[in-house]
Structure 1
Amino acid sequence: MADRIPVEVDGRRLTLSNLEKVLYPEHGFAKGEVIDYYTRIAPVLLPHLVDRPLTVKRYPNGVDSQFFYEKNAPRGTPDWVRTVRLPAPGSTKDRESIDYTVVEELATLVWLANLAALELHVPQWRVPPRARSAHARVASSPRPRTDLIVFDLDPGPPATIAECCEVAVLLRDLVTADGLHPVPKTSGSKGMQVSAPVSAADPMLTSAYAKRVAQRLERDHPDLVVSRMTRTLRPGKVLVDWSQNNPAKTTVAVYSLRARPEPTVSTPLTWDEVEAGGVLRFTAAEALERVERHGDLFAPVLDDAHRVTITEGLATGG
């Protein structure tokens, strides 16, 4: 069929389809452009996905139509795509385990983009690297290791990303005093996230630490910050969502597209940009241009020299 195109990506064979199908109607951004974006951004994106079980949001008929979350590797997953089987306690589909996709190479990223997996979401932990001699697909129930802490800053209207920037600077000063090395990025939607690398840690400690920081910000800046999800508390304030550090939760991956009217991207920022505030919203083309200009501004979260151990004392303030 004319709309099915066999391609080879780094030695992997796959078939692309419906490349002209528009997935962002307001901007005429088609599936072929989605694949092109993920192909071009891959050199800086892939290091942030390696060994992280992936949850995707798929939009087969575009961002204005029905979508679905997908954790389990879909039927027909190529046998060269790495998957990892993990327990699924409390699964809404009564599954004992889930075979998550783990992105290790460009071909997997292209395959996912062809499935209209526009958004990529990852946890704050990794599974152990796959033994290169092992079968590509499944490593059963490996022990995860938390290596990131994240603060998700979500503005309650009429607050905007400008207020998120104010909170991010306050947050930076608090966690830097504790020895952490925070790095900001836009969410690609309304808000932003601040992440910092940590040494392999119990996720309960990272969650407790993030909660303590959020509560302190709320206590010190009650007119600007809220640390609780209660919707009636949120108008005009920024929610510092510490719960994203729960091992069952995920956060949008850096450089992921978002399913907004235009193809915006979760984009790393400099602290100078955050301090200046303003409109911090970047499309796929702008994100690519920024990488050409700055390189990977999110690379510090991969730097082992920046990893800090979250002790019980840090977590509790003791």
Structure 2
Amino acid sequence: MTLAALPRLLVEPPVRAALLEDLGLAGDITSTAVIPAGHRSTVVMAARKHGVIAGLDAAELAFQLVDPKIVMTRHIEDGGAVKPGDVIATIEGPSRGLLTGERTALNFLGHLSGIASVTAGIVAAIEGTRASVVCTRKTTPGLRALEKYAVRAGGGMNHRFALYDAVLIKDNHVAIAGGIAESIRRAKAGVGHMVKIEVEVDTLDQLHEAMEVGVDAVLLDNMTPDQLREAVGIVAGRAITEASGGITPATAAAVAASGVDLLSVGWITHSAPTLDIGLDFRSAN
């Protein structure tokens, strides 16, 4: 499936905010003092580790917001795999602008590529099963659209985007509402017919209760592969099954082999290591 780019309307606000944070009230005083006005350079962004790229639009925008005369030529697109030494993009333009935008561009590209890379690792680990990898709402404040995009670039799928686009009844909802069945009934009465309803269950008894009332999806929290396999049998195709809790590349294959539809993994957005990408000077123009 082709990876659809995010609208600029979603990409620009976080990039602009990051540049404003860096430039403050005086701008890039180092580049202004050291680099002559009018000087031009060519630089390249290159991978220093194996990974999957995501965030090129954000990186390009970081340079263009600093100086529209900067031109970036891509040699790989988001979703593409890289190895150490691969040139990701060539950037040419006023040297001051290149240096001013460098860190913001690399921050976005490295962070989002890190998310894409770890997602791709789990996708590879469960290849051959029916399961897909999905992310959660455990995202960096202000960067959710970009981070969920990076998950897609790595071959994963997105869970709900926020509190408004789907119902997810979790353990605290159940405790306060007075039980699984009552929570589901209230949800069905309180939302429109287009809204999906998912409920989190910790035990097979709770799962039986949820299936008696009926839901669109069940989140099977912190269950063993054997418990997950039994849960899939209980559901018997009547709802989407989602496994959650401590899933790593080492455990993902066993979880997926249980027959669940989805593996929900929060750390791919909140704890993914940055992919090491450098900006290297090539020539003065």
Q: TM-score range by the shorter chain?
A: under 0.3
- What is the TM-score with the length of structure 1 in the denominator? 0.23
Q: Return the index of the structure with the highest Cα Rg.
A: 2
Which structure has the highest helix share of the two? Answer: 2
- Give TM-score, length-normalised by structure 2: 0.25
Pick the structure with more strand per residue: 1
